[in-house]
Amino acid sequence: MVKLSAPLQQDPIEAVPWRRARPPARVLVIRLQAFGDTVATLPYVQALKTVWPRAEFDFLTRDEVCELPRSVDLFETVFPIGGGRSATLQLLFALVLLPRLLLRRYDVVLDLQRNRISRLVRALLRPRAWSSFDRFSPRLHGERARLTIEAAGIALPAVYPNLQLRNQAAGLNALRLAGWDGRCGLVALNPAGGFPTRNWPLEHYVAFADLWSARRRRDDQFVVLGTGALRPKADYLKAALGTRLLDLVGRTTVSDAFGVLRRTTLVLSEDSGLMHLAWVAGAPTLGLFGSSQHVWSAPHGNYSLCLHSGDLPCGACMDTECHFGDVHCLTRYTPERVLEAALTLLQAVARTEKVIWPGTQAKG
């Protein structure tokens, strides 16, 4: 076993690399985290599949987040672990799945989780090669996923946002039912940050939309989508923007949402699972980060931009309530400033091919 470390790493990657000349027959990828973190690993696994195109790739993940992995043309089998957020129940479900996993006789296991469950599964499967995720170093999640994959003895090629849905028409019907004519540009507005310290004011979204329409001089439409928890915010935006807003909240599956996002001109989003889905779909993504750790969670690639709080003494605090009572880490980003950042991003995107890695990460 080897341990790979770097000055930034606090939890070194552990690995037994694949040493054989021939490629492996079967690879298991494990990721048991929340939706956004799980989705963020998929482009890197896709890049690995281009290196080992004949290998069968399986995915072990939580039941709540398995729809997209099942919807993309990447995995032979997706194994879901039930149990919700309970580690004990997750462990029991993993043990129930173990006989099926053992029958697959994996050559390589990529543990992109590195918790008690994933380490136990990996040990019991006894693959010839494996690697285990670096959980804590201050790097982008995708970069840590890449380093974990490469620690298993594979040099990854360039990573692109080119996941292919099995149903290429996913999301089209939902858009048409909401009033999209198929010609107007689409701008996704996603006020879905989980805490007040991650929320850009709703009136700022409305002002941004007005400024966008005035500057672009086009009949672009705006779209809001996500779970039913976003309903009050969607109603606010609908009341302000009228027919310019397509309301898809609670009306799409995850694969539908992926299909919608890949058709957008821009996604303006707070830190959320949908933001991760957007950049994985290849949508130009402008992230608005208040209390979030942008060094871990910012959207990746040369087609994204993150306006964050890391330059402030109190920045990236991860607190759910602002100690100053004003969330100034986000409110300082005015609609005018966000619009200019968005237009600058789109100009950059128009000049080059979209790539996740290697690529220059735009930063605000």
Per-residue pLDDT of 265-310, as tens digits, reads 999 999 999 999 999 999 999 999 999 999 999 999 999 999 999 9
- Characterize the bridge pairing of strands 285-288 and 304-307: parallel
DSSP code at position 83: S
Separation of alpha carbons 349 and 337, rounded Å: 18
First to last CA, the chain: 40
Give 113-138 pLDDT, tens digit per residue: 999 999 999 999 999 999 999 988 88
Separation of alpha carbons 63 and 304, rounded Å: 29
Residue 1: the pLDDT is: 64
What are the residues whose beta carbons fall under 8 Å from the beta carbon of 344, sequence distance 6 or more?
305
Give 304-316 pLDDT, tens digit per residue: 999 999 999 999 9
Determine the average pLDDT of the residues in 343-355: 96
Residue 3: the pLDDT is: 54
> Domains in the chain, start-ordered, CATH in brackets?
2-151 (3.40.50.2000), 172-363 (3.40.50.2000)
Residue 2: the pLDDT is: 54
Residue 185: the pLDDT is: 95
DSSP 200-265: --HHHHHHHHHHHHHHH-S--EEEEEE-GGGHHHHHHHHHHHGGGEEEEETS--HHHHHHHHTT-S
Separation of alpha carbons 111 and 14, rounded Å: 10
Q: Give per-residue burial for 179-199: e unless 16+ CB within 10 Å, then b.
A: ebeeebebbbbbbbbebebbb
pLDDT range class, residue 10, cuts 50, 70, 90 = low
H or E element, residue 182: none
Token representation of residue 165: 């849905």
DSSP 248-275: EETS--HHHHHHHHTT-SEEEEESSHHH
pLDDT range class, residue 171, cuts 50, 70, 90 = very high
pLDDT value at 45 more than 70:
yes
Give the sign of the dihedral formed by CA 138, CA 141, CA 144, CA 148: positive
Separation of alpha carbons 241 and 364, rounded Å: 27
Q: Are 229 and 249 contacting, i.e. CB atoms less than 8 angstroms apart? A: no
Determine the average pLDDT of the residues in 62-78: 97
Share of the chain above pLDDT 90, in %: 90
* Phi, psi for 247 (deg, rounded to 5): -100, 105
Separation of alpha carbons 125 and 161, rounded Å: 31
Token representation of residue 162: 């080119």
